[in-house]
Chain A
Amino acid sequence: MSPVDPDLLSIEHLSVVIRRPGREVAALSDVSLRVGRGEVVGLVGESGGGKSMVARSIVGLLPGGSHATGAVRFEGDDVLRMDDDALRRHRGHGAAICFQNPRGALSPTRTVGRQLTDRLTTHQRLTEAEARRAAEEQFAAVGIRSPRRRLGAYPHELSGGMAQRVMISLATGCAPGLLIADEPTTGLDVTLTREILRRFRHAADTDGRGVLLISHDLASIADVCDRVVVLYAGTVVESGPAARVLGRPAHPYTRALLRSVPDVDGRAVVATPGAMPLLKAAPHDCPFAPRCAHATAECTAERPPVSRVPGAADDWTLACFHPRTDELAFAEPAETPGRATAAERAVLEVDDAHVVYRSRFGKGGHAALRGVSLRVAAGETLGVVGESGCGKSTLAKLLLGLVSPARGDVRVAGSRMSDLRGGELRRLRTRVQMVFQDPIGSLSPRRTVADAIAEPLRALGLPAARRAERVEAVADRLKIDRSMLARRPHELSGGQAQRVCVARALAGEPDVLVFDEPTSALDVTVQAQILEVIADVVRDPARGSVFISHDLATVRGFADRVIVLYLGRIVEEGPVDEVFGNPRHPYTRALLSSAPSLGDGFSGPKVTLTEDLDDTDAAAPGCPLAARCPFADDRCRTEEQELRPYGNTRAACRRVPEIPDLLKGSDIRV
């Protein structure tokens, strides 16, 4: 029954139910999608929506206990019903996956070169010697510096970005017709994300491969995809040309998703209440109905059929009874209050702090912070941004007294932590509270929610009755259901757990709240909810807050001032609108330039950094950015840079005044 020229990949009415003793999950319900040759299709949606299940079904790796109906046609053949031999040939050569966590997916005991030649000899029938030569070319093609040397490297010797490049080379090394990338840029810095995504576009354009790009991050994949498919609770809710679906979505869920994404242009996030349901059986209604503002009786009675968006080209479809056709409205950028002035009471001061992690054996160590000074006034929110490894978490630990500075000091509400011991220290500690990145991991697995929230109160010596009162008050403020207080962390969703963490942080009425990437482990719509909670909490005039994130867009939303960290140093510091609107330091400008955006994005002239981040730059004399900075000259490589005032921001770059002129040179523009 194969037609003349079948699609490369065509998934037809695929449903997957996973049945395990005591657990039943409808992972996919009637999913249809296709990918053509030379086409990049984005598969987006929140975690649990079924993205990875689609990827696994394409390579015939459904988990044990799966019951699948429908068909996954690859060049006309149904992958679900292939025998072992056909399946082995299909895997890799037909469709190859780039795995989500490249470092984890590379075999730790085999050199990456061998892993690549294994693929080449298997699927391209090369001899060992040919494969080695081809491997070197592949490595060079994905942008690995000194490829020959890297062939002999083991995965643990690679940085995250390098590992992702290797993973891509492994997948393309199989010479697949279809390349599947499962969250290929999670955990990578913004500057790298763009480049990696371009490689997939390139694979489609030059090699004619089909590419299925799976991501929860709509903004970053928006400009490389031809089409996007939006999944919700195992169903396709909308699919069509990327520009239309992401520009003027018609399905209420897609619209909610887009409105939940913070943007560097500063527009306000609109949260949608509720969370995605985990279905036990294929739905008979619209799974989004409980959260949908436009739901009618029809929506809960029947499952909406897939239909064409009214008045649109025929490949734009959605599953909704009441498609929206109006422009997607965003709230105006939130007014940045600018309440705090330097004259106000400082709740937190850091003066020239250095933090060194000593290596376990031998001498030396790793300087994670190098001379950081900052000040947070009551009622003020300080944003901290920077790439991974720049020292953001170390700064958070420093503020909390979890690491002590090798030099310099930290004062909370006027007292120095290092001066105190015992009970006094413990009381001072309750003055600074932190909300961690991993909400579930930061709750003790065997303690109840009420117990967790009461933790700081216990340290303050409150009697049990008062504690219970206080816990309920905080829970109410954060809209935590009373019934949840008796639960344990593993019974909470990520969003609920993060609410509990915020509640715990607030319980003891601290002077300073520190948020270390509080939303990066959460899904987009949940993230928007938590950001709302945090925005409410930091408005308190008696309290100062520090908000740390690698994502510039979230910081822009509600910080009053920001500092930009690079390799343990502050490279720029100033009011949020000033830093985001008119960045002085080349590094800040580069971060903003590569920040993904669904809206206007960063509007000024853009720059890109030339190389990947390398930790050894930190120790080099002169400006730490010199190796990557497009404006670097010889003096930059020798002169130590200090923060100097430029307007009402400060930046650690000697060439700031010349940069507007330098930017006019067209070669730097993107």
Chain B
Amino acid sequence: MSETVVVGAARVGRFATVLIVTGSAILAVVALAAIFAPLFTGWGPTEIDPLGTLVPPGPGHPLGTDANGMDVWSRLLYAGRLDLGIAVAGVAVAVVAGTALGLVAGYLGGWVDDVLMRVVDIFQAFPTFILALAVAALVGNGTGNLIAVIAAVNAPAYARLVRAEVRTVRESAFVAASVTSGASTSGVLWRHVLPNSLTPVRVIAPLNAGWAMLTLAGLSFLGLGVTVPAAEWGAMISLGSPDVVAGRWWTSVPPGLVLLICVLGFSLLGEGLQERAEAKRR
């Protein structure tokens, strides 16, 4: 018998697993560091060191102090609470609201669809910053309104995504089978259409949580989101930005780096999930 010929084995899923594990690990580390921040630093996030502002990194302050004399390392750790919390909560609200809208628009079609989708169009054509300020004005200041901002900015995309999915699921034979079995509209939606329309949402949501953190930081950077002295990475970068031209890196580079790593965690996770979903489809 002749020797065996091997055709390049497809390494399905291994890279995806690496991505998912790495991403989750990063997020876990950041989240734990934020929750247990007091264990890693003696300084409070808004505590001012009377001995000096803009102290370079050294024994007392591992990453120096900022223009207000607050410890950068401590603020870095605590900031995860606001950044992660607001982004994740905002995206969660966006998913629920967007899915509900997309489900109704996609399944009912007709004028309901037209009206809802035009509203979504308007929302999407609206610049993020204006939306942010407007929402802040409507729901009042604070963490809650930033969650609302993140939700408002992202919900339209979910509405579109779910709507597109629902429109294909709606045409499938199993929905027809259910309708002809006498199921009610709400029954069909809840039992058959919704569970089969969520796959893309599941994949996009982690990626989206990453972008939401960037949006939040961007708003704070412009002074439209979280404001100093509250600890938030975007606001920290903003406070440190004038130092850059003078060559003082420690006030703005570390918060950006941590933000980058945290968003990367979400990106890796999302990419891995996407890869897995695609491998399943093939």
**Are chains A and B touching directly in their complex (CB below 8 angstroms)?**
yes
State which of B5, B176, B187, B191 has its C-beta within 8 Å of the C-beta of A436. Answer: B176
Give A349-399 interface residues, CB cut-off 8 Å to B. 397
User: Are A64 and B182 in contact, CB atoms less than 8 angstroms apart?
Assistant: no
Q: Is the Cβ of A455 less than 8 Å from the Cβ of B7?
A: no
Asked if A508 is an interface residue, CB under 8 A from chain B, the answer is yes
Contact of B181 among A65, A81, A438, A456 (CB under 8 A): A456
Q: Is A401 an interface residue, CB under 8 A from the partner?
A: yes
Residues on B with C-beta less than 8 A from A434 are 176-177, 180
A71 within 8 A of B: yes
* A522 CB–B CB distance under 8 Å: no
User: CB of B137 within 8 A of chain A?
Assistant: no
A279 CB within 8 Å of chain B: no
Kindly identify, within residues 94 to 119 of chain B, every residue whose CB is under 8 Å from any CB belonging to chain A. none
Q: Which of B1, B5, B178, B187 contacts A80 (CB 8 A)?
A: B5
Contact B9 A429 (CB under 8 A): no
Cross-chain contact B7 with A426 (CB below 8 angstroms): no
Chain A interface residue count, CB cutoff 8 Å, equals 45
Known A441-B174, A444-B191; contact A433-B6, beta-carbon cutoff 8 A? no
Say whether B7 contacts A459, CB under 8 Å.
Answer: no
B191 close to A447 (CB less than 8 A): yes
Given contacts A441-B174, A443-B174, contact A65 B9 (CB under 8 A): yes
Contact B195 A446 (CB under 8 A): yes
Q: Please tell me if the beta carbons of A402 and B174 are within 8 angstroms of each other in the complex.
A: no
Q: Are B8 and A64 in contact (CB under 8 A)?
A: yes
- Complex contact A67–B174 (CB within 8 A): no
> Is there an interface contact between A455 and B3, defined as CB atoms closer than 8 Å?
no
A442 to B179, alpha carbons, bound, how many Å? 11
A93-B82 Cα distance, complex, nearest whole Å? 65
Tell me whether A68 and B183 are in contact (CB under 8 A).
no
A19 at the interface (CB under 8 A from B): yes
Binary CB contact string for chain A from 532 to 569 against chain B (1 if under 8 A, 0 otherwise): 00000000000000000000000000000000000000
Rounded to whole angstroms, the CA-CA distance of A62 and B10 in the bound complex is 12
Nearest B residue to A431 by beta-carbon distance?
B182
Cβ contact within 8 Å between B2 and A70: yes
A441-B174, A442-B176, A444-B192 are contacts. A430–B9 as well, Cβ < 8 Å? no
Given contacts A447-B191, A458-B183, contact A442 B174 (CB under 8 A): yes
B183 touches A444 (CB 8 A): no
B180 A400 Cβ-Cβ under 8 A: yes
Contacts of B179 in A (CB 8 A): 402, 429
Question: Cβ of B173 < 8 Å from any Cβ of A?
Answer: yes
Residue of B nearest to A456 (CB): B181
> What is the minimal beta-carbon distance from B202 to any residue of chain A, in angstroms?
13
Complex Cα distance A503/B184, Å?
Answer: 21
Q: Give CA–CA (A426, B183) in the complex, Å.
A: 7
434-453 of chain A: CB within 8 A of chain B: 434, 436-438, 441-447
B residues in contact with A443, CB < 8 Å: 174, 177
Nearest chain A residue, comparing its CB with the CB of B194: A446
A656 adjacent to chain B (CB < 8 Å): no
Q: Which of A240-299 contact B (CB under 8 A)?
A: none
Contact A429 B182 (CB under 8 A): yes
> Pick the contact of A504 from B3, B181, B187, B195 — CB < 8 Å?
B181
Interface string of A7-48 (1 = CB under 8 A from B): 000000100000111000000000000000000000000000
Known: A21-B13, A69-B5. A442 touches B192 (CB 8 A): no
Q: In the complex the two chains form, what is the Cα distance from A64 to B10 in whole Å?
A: 5
Determine if A427 is an interface residue (Cβ-Cβ < 8 Å). Answer: yes
**B12 at the A interface (CB under 8 A):** yes
CB distance from A581 to the nearest CB of B (A): 35
**Chain A positions 502-540 with a Cβ under 8 Å from a chain B Cβ:** 504, 508
Q: Which residues of A contact B184 (CB under 8 A)?
A: 426, 459
Query: Is A459 in contact with B183, judged by CB distance below 8 angstroms?
Result: yes
- Residue B143 at the chain A interface, CB threshold 8 Å: no
B196: interface (CB < 8 Å)? yes
- The reply to whether B177 and A455 contact each other, CB–CB distance below 8 Å, is yes
* Whole-angstrom CA separation of A647 from B127 in the bound complex: 75
Q: Is A307 interfacial (CB 8 A cutoff)?
A: no
Cα A238 to Cα B1 with chains together (Å): 23
B43 CB, min distance to chain A CBs, angstroms = 49
> Would you call B172 an interface residue if the criterion is a C-beta within 8 Å of the partner chain's C-beta atoms?
yes
Contact of A433 among B4, B7, B174, B181 (CB under 8 A): B181
Residues of B within 8 A of A447 (CB): 191-192
- Chain B neighbourhood of A436, CB < 8 A: 173, 176-177
Give the nearest-CB partner of A425 in chain B: B182
Which A residues are in CB contact (< 8 Å) with B191?
444, 447
CB nearest to B11 among chain A residues: A21
Which residues of A lie under 8 Å from residue B181 when comparing CB positions?
A: 429-430, 433, 455-456, 458-459, 504, 508
Report A-chain residues with C-beta under 8 Å of the C-beta of B196: 444-446
Contact indicator per residue, chain A 66-96, by CB within 8 Å of chain B (1) or not (0): 1111110000000011000000000000000
Query: Which 7 pairs between the two chains have the least Cβ-Cβ distance?
Result: A459-B182, A64-B10, A442-B173, A426-B182, A430-B182, A456-B181, A455-B181
11 sampled A-B residue pairs with Cβ under 8 A: A21-B12, A62-B7, A68-B4, A71-B2, A429-B182, A430-B181, A434-B180, A444-B178, A446-B196, A460-B182, A508-B182
Which residues of A are in contact with B by a Cβ distance under 8 Å?
Answer: 13, 19-21, 62-71, 80-81, 397, 400-402, 426-427, 429-430, 432-434, 436-438, 441-447, 455-456, 458-460, 501, 504, 508
**17 further interface pairs, Cβ-Cβ under 8 Å (given A429-B181, A442-B174):** A20-B12, A64-B7, A64-B10, A66-B5, A69-B1, A80-B5, A402-B176, A402-B180, A427-B182, A430-B182, A434-B177, A436-B176, A442-B176, A443-B177, A445-B174, A501-B177, A504-B177
